[in-house]
Amino acid sequence: MNSADTTLKHYFVSHEQQFDAAKLGMWLFLVTEVLLFSGMFVAYAVYRSWHPEVFLQASELLDWRLGALNTVVLLASSFTVALAIHFVQKGQNDKVIGFLILTLACAAVFMIVKYFEYSGKFSHGVFPGAGFEPHGIVDGKDYSKYDIPFAPQFFSIYFVMTGIHGVHVLVGMGLFGWLTTRVARGHFSPQYYTPVELTGLYWHLVDIIWIFLFPLLYLI
């Protein structure tokens, strides 16, 4: 073992063992994330089974076009982060930086769309829970007619699920920014790129969760 190799921790015998241990740890973390969102999906399923007509009507206040745009953006980001992992394995760090920046840009677009979506709802009194007082007319749609029993439950679930997902997107943006600076400083090579791959795994989960959120909240 090369004593100058600072990327290999002293308690591992090889880079392969270190990578496998780190990947196992990430998979265990992702399992806890799946459990977190699974609880919210169960809450959605229960409330929807109790009030299907209300959930269907309340979902009309969500713009499926914005949801579809964010779906396309996140799918594109999954592709770019996969390319970043591919090129870091090849040692082509200039391309890695480019694809990490593209991934970060896609995440930023996602959050900008959510900002306009949230602010549009808030400006017309569409809040979670007791603050739910829809009013105004948007695109010929009278929001006040959606002030019906159990509609607040739908929007409470909507804001909690998409809000927590948004926090995960922000965390991912921070990680991609951090990775970009480290790649630029030459911290990664074909022999050591563990943080890049682990962040990619995390990001793929964030994308998969949105793929479930989009149809459940916007389409059905």
Distance CA 163, CA 142 (A): 25
pLDDT tens profile 106-125:
999 999 999 999 999 999 99
d(CA 154, CA 129): 9
For the residues 191-197, what does the mean pLDDT come to? 91
Q: pTM of the prediction?
A: 0.90
Q: Could you tell me the CATH number of the domain that includes residue 149?
A: 1.20.120.80
What integer pLDDT is reported at residue 180 of this predicted model? 97
> Is 4 inside any structural domain?
no
Task: Check whether 80 has a pLDDT greater than 60.
Answer: yes
Task: Give the pLDDT of residue 10.
Answer: 64
Asked if 181 and 93 touch (Cβ cutoff 8 Å), the reply is no
Domain assignment of residue 107, yes or no? yes
User: What does the radius of gyration of the chain's CA atoms come to, in whole angstroms?
Assistant: 21
Asked if residue 133 lies in contact with residue 125, where contact means CB atoms within 8 angstroms, the answer is yes
What's the domain range around 157?
15-219
In a domain, 2, yes or no: no
Q: For the chain, what is the domain count?
A: 1
Average pLDDT in the chain: 91
pLDDT > 70 in the chain, percent:
94
Confidence of residue 3 (pLDDT cuts 50, 70, 90): very low
pLDDT at 1 over 50: no
Residue 9: the pLDDT is: 67
Model confidence band, residue 141 (pLDDT cutoffs 50, 70, 90): confident
